[in-house]
Amino acid sequence: MLNNILLKLFIFVSLICLSGCVNRAVQHVTPTADLGKIKSICVEHFEPDGRHLNVTIAEELTKFNIKSSTAEKCTDNVDAILTYRDKWMWDLTMYMISLSIKLNDPNTGFPLAYGQALHSSLTRQTPQETINEVLTKLKWTPKSGQ
């Protein structure tokens, strides 16, 4: 009887401890999309984003040898338009809990690829690390030395 209670207590405590360690990165690339051909991207600003992550995303894209620009609404002649959604949480300090990135064809708006990273408070990363994680998940590799 005591062993059964101790086992249940151990499982309960383990679940509580592990619940704060959520960490996930996913991606989906449309089968007909060739991300290797994308050499220029316009990063649209997500209006509620007061941190202007579009600028940070554009800076990170240069590490992947991709020419990037930013705009409130992209009209540039580019190979793809990148949109993003960031979500922030409070746990002693503000941190980015999730970042979703979507690449669209600039002419048709057709989705080419989607990537997302999710990190709980215990596995939090800097915005640059999270952006880099999503871009890497989309099969781009940073230039050497970056």
The confidence score (pLDDT) of residue 34 equals: 87
The confidence score (pLDDT) of residue 73 equals: 85
The confidence score (pLDDT) of residue 6 equals: 59
Does any domain span residue 99? yes
The confidence score (pLDDT) of residue 16 equals: 44
Task: Give every CB contact of residue 136 below 8 A, 6+ residues apart in sequence.
Answer: 142
* Domain assignment of residue 86, given as a range: 21-137
Does any domain span residue 34? yes
The confidence score (pLDDT) of residue 40 equals: 94
Does any domain span residue 7? no
| Number of domains, the chain | 1
The two beta strands, 67-71 and 40-44, are parallel
CATH code assigned at 104 = 3.30.160.670
Does any domain span residue 108? yes
Per-residue pLDDT of the chain (146 residues; tens, 9 = 90+): 666 775 565 554 444 444 455 676 777 888 888 888 999 999 999 988 888 899 999 999 999 899 999 988 887 799 999 999 999 988 888 888 999 999 999 999 999 999 999 988 778 889 999 999 999 988 776 655 54
Task: Give every CB contact of residue 80 below 8 A, 6+ residues apart in sequence.
Answer: 38, 40, 41, 42, 103, 104, 105, 106, 112
Does any domain span residue 8? no
pTM comes to: 0.78
